[in-house]
Amino acid sequence: MIASIQIATNRYAPAGSEAIQMYDTGASGPLTLGQLVQAVCLRSAATYEAQSVVKMNVMTEGSTKLDTASSYLTQIVQGTADWTAAKAYLTGTLGIPASDLPDRIDEYSGQTTSAYDRRMQAANALKAKMDALTQDQQENMIDLQTLVNRRDGAYSTSSNVVRTLGTSSMDNAQNF
């Protein structure tokens, strides 16, 4: 039979979220403080690692959007874009409001603005969105670096605990 006792790691922690489970296996007794610290550090490191993977996937998606947007920007400025597909991508995937984009970017009879002006309208809307996506990517990179640093810190703490416990055990053995 395994019994567990929950100890809050901080008095402001919500119940069940930031708590440590101390396990008594019956055969070997409760965890030592060193084992407990190691378990908490390794669990934290694993959590940070999982969050890092999610953040990297978000960044990959953002990079793909920026690459596609950049390609469409070039095609729009050059006047070679398939405007129906481009507009569908800009409004659907990137979320640019349709009201910010012209209906057409080509020359046609009865036009009230030049094709160049309409292309520049579309290009400016796309550039603004690309700037926002780039800013998001930079923030995601900072978040990822923070997660990696926290993960490394958790592994370092765990390693230091093992080293300290080993040194302590050696000192105790030499004293006998």
Q: 89 and 18 in one domain?
A: no
The whole-number pLDDT of residue 16 equals 47
* Averaged pLDDT for residues 45-54: 93
> What is the tens place of the pLDDT at every residue in 5-44?
444 444 444 444 444 555 555 556 666 777 777 788 888 8
The answer as to whether 161 is a domain residue is: no
Structural domain count of the chain = 2
Q: 35 and 86 in one domain?
A: no
The answer as to whether 170 is a domain residue is: no
The whole-number pLDDT of residue 161 equals 82
CA–CA distances in Å: residue 92 to residues 84, 89, 140: 12, 5, 22
Q: 141 and 70 in one domain?
A: yes
Q: 12 and 67 in one domain?
A: no
Q: 68 and 142 in one domain?
A: yes
The answer as to whether 57 is a domain residue is: yes
Q: 19 and 59 in one domain?
A: no
Q: 80 and 28 in one domain?
A: no
Give the pTM. 0.69
The answer as to whether 61 is a domain residue is: yes
> What is the tens place of the pLDDT at every residue in 135-159?
999 999 999 999 999 999 988 888 8
> What is the tens place of the pLDDT at every residue in 121-132?
999 999 999 999
Q: 120 and 63 in one domain?
A: yes
Residue 27, domain extent: 1-43
- Dihedral angle, C-alpha 132, 135, 139, 145, nearest 10 °: 140
Cα–Cα dist 49/151, whole Å = 7
The answer as to whether 155 is a domain residue is: no
